[in-house]
Amino acid sequence: MKALAGQVALITGGGRGIGAETGKQLAQQGATVVLVARTQAQLEATAAQIREAGGKAHWFVADVSDEGAMREAVQGALGITGNLDILVNNAGFIQAVGLIEDSTPAEWWHTLEGNLKGLYLTTRLVLPHMLAQGHGQIVNVLSVAGTRAFAGLSAYSCAKAAGLMFTRILAKEVRKRGVRVMAILPGAVDTAIWGEGEGVPDRQKMIRPETVAQIITQMLLTPKDATIDELLVLPKEGIL
Ligand SMILES: NC(=O)c1ccc[n+]([C@@H]2O[C@H](COP(=O)([O-])OP(=O)(O)OC[C@H]3O[C@@H](n4cnc5c(N)ncnc54)[C@H](OP(=O)(O)O)[C@@H]3O)[C@@H](O)[C@H]2O)c1
């Protein structure tokens, strides 16, 4: 029997990049995958790839920072699958890039909120089901930018740093009630999040999104007597 057979995994930001690759790999392990993002075409395409490979996939269009939309997505997922065993809080984006002195409050706050509020809202919606069933796993996809200072990335980095403390507090609150909470902090990964502009590091040196997905899958497959609390994953040449 496959390791995750019978389990249901909700993956935010599952339309492309790390989230899509994680969806594919968790489905290969037997999980039923529920993908959430804002772009329907990408969700459809990823779900189709999972199904063509013999896996089970569903999707919901929602912005993770929209509580009502996320409530519908979580309820919809539960309506189809009946349970939620795994949550991968992966949705995120980079905006408000530039020096603090040049930033605009609206864009800075939007970036902070988009990357942090969704993590909180999605967790809050899924957690009661995990606690009621007495088991569950949550992986928060954060960033090395949440632990080290990169000039020009203040809003994104503050969101990821807050996400790390959120993860630590959540783990303290629920770990003795059967829910394992973990964080992965990748360095540069070759995805669309970098855009095409100047200053993008050499993509050939970045980590492949499939590799991050493989590591997330391994975290979720960690034997039950242990937990990988926080995992820093860098390109083999280090921070690019
Ligand atoms: N790539 C890197 O170098 C790197 C490094 C460290 C950490 N990370 C983190 O890894 C995660 C995944 O990023 P990625 O590199 O795979 O980027 P990506 O290829 O741009 O994928 C991001 C995914 O998140 C979704 N998303 C973004 N904002 C959303 C929102 N408000 N509501 C719902 N879905 C949303 C996107 O779909 P829609 O736009 O259609 O909603 C997309 O499916 C992010 O949290 C990112 O911060 C990435």
Convert the pLDDT of each residue in 27-76 to its tens digit: 999 999 999 999 999 999 999 999 999 999 999 999 999 999 999 999 99
Average pLDDT rounded to a whole number, residues 173-198: 96
User: What local confidence, expressed as pLDDT, does residue 197 receive?
Assistant: 78
**Residue 176 alpha carbon to ligand 1 centre in Å:** 30
User: What local confidence, expressed as pLDDT, does residue 51 receive?
Assistant: 98
**Residue 193 alpha carbon to ligand 1 centre in Å:** 6
- The verdict on residue 176 lying in a domain is yes
**Domain span at 90:** 8-233
Residue nearest atom 38 in ligand 1 by C-alpha distance: 38
- The verdict on residue 157 lying in a domain is yes
- The verdict on residue 129 lying in a domain is yes
Q: Which of 59, 60, 108, 156 is catalytic?
A: 156
The strand pair at 179-186 and 230-233 is best described as: parallel
- The verdict on residue 80 lying in a domain is yes
User: What local confidence, expressed as pLDDT, does residue 236 receive?
Assistant: 98
- The verdict on residue 118 lying in a domain is yes
Burial of 146 (0-12, 13-18, 19+ CB in 10 A): buried
Instruction: Tell me the per-residue pLDDT of 134-158, one tens digit each, with 9 for 90 and over.
Output: 999 999 999 999 999 999 999 999 9
pTM of this structure: 0.98
- The verdict on residue 3 lying in a domain is no
Instruction: Name the DSSP letter for residue 208.
Output: P
Q: Please state, for a pLDDT cut of 90, what percent of the chain lies above it.
A: 98
Q: Which own/partner contact pairs does 121-124 have at CB distance under 8 Å and 24+ positions apart? A: 121/64, 121/65, 121/67, 121/70, 122/10, 122/12, 122/36, 122/64, 122/70, 122/74, 122/87, 122/89, 122/91, 123/87, 123/89, 123/166, 123/170
Output the ligand 1 site: residues, CB below 6 A. 12-13, 15-19, 37-39, 42, 63-65, 90-93, 114, 118, 141, 143, 186, 188-189, 191-193, 209
Number of structural domains the chain divides into: 1
Q: Which atom of ligand 1 is nearest to the CA of 193?
A: 20
Q: Which of 18, 119, 207 to mutate to test the pocket of ligand 1 (most atoms within 8 A of CB)?
A: 18
Q: Which of 42, 46, 93, 207 to mutate to test the pocket of ligand 1 (most atoms within 8 A of CB)?
A: 93
Q: Which of 34, 38, 44, 157 to mutate to test the pocket of ligand 1 (most atoms within 8 A of CB)?
A: 38
- The verdict on residue 238 lying in a domain is no
Whether residue 156 lies in the annotated active site:
yes
What is the domain-level CATH number for residue 195?
3.40.50.720
pLDDT beyond 90 at 199: no
Task: Judge whether 84 and 77 are in contact, CB under 8 Å.
Answer: yes
- The verdict on residue 206 lying in a domain is yes
